[in-house]
Chains A and B, each alone.
Chain A
């Protein structure tokens, strides 16, 4: 049973455009929603995270939008740059909001074309 569904599987965006990756979850006990970024040959690294008490969190060009009633959250990358090309994973946790017990989505391979 896949508890966190991520789409699209791959995404190509022109430089300067907006990249949008969506995730949906089923477990209403989830209370921590991070996004991880993974470059080729490297391990995933935390990019940005949100808790369900807010509907949006912004850090630079990266924004998480969270819809608790729909059980959906999304990552928006504004002014996308070639250096943003990577695989992005959404995740969710229900163990007190910590890194313990993270459930990852299947990942989105993002390519930013110059």
Chain B
């Protein structure tokens, strides 16, 4: 069983469109994250959710919005896509705080905006 799964794996879309990436974890973790990896492989955290509450919200454009219908899911909605949004987006999960020693990542979603 895949611990953290993302769909789709690849997403090609035109500028101005709205798209969503789905993420599900079956590890029973309380905290989920979205990371962005740019073309230079730099990993930057975008959001994290703990028990359905946003606890970290980095300075990302408000076109990006995380949505968590339940503890096992954290979806990423992106409005009015721009060329600069092209990147690989990773979902991850972990247990919160001191009980956590590892973040488990999904396989990534390669988003290409044309």
Contact = CB atoms under 8 A, between A and B. Distances in A.
Interface string A52-82: 0000000000000000000000000000000
Contacts of A32: 101
A96 B98 contact: yes
A100 B31 contact: yes
Interface string B52-77: 00011000000000000000000000
Interface in B1-47: 4, 31, 40-45
Contacts of B107: 41-43
A100 B100 contact: yes
Nearest to B42: A106
> Contact residue range for chain B?
20 to 34
A87 interface: yes
Nearest to B40: A106
A72 to B, nearest CB: 20
Interface of A is mostly: loop
A17 B104 CA distance: 30
Contacts of B104: 45
Contacts of A13: none
Interface of A: 32, 34, 38, 41-46, 49, 87, 89, 95-102, 104, 106-107, 109
16 contacts: A32-B101, A38-B41, A43-B105, A43-B106, A45-B105, A46-B102, A96-B97, A98-B100, A99-B94, A99-B95, A100-B48, A100-B56, A100-B96, A102-B103, A106-B41, A107-B43
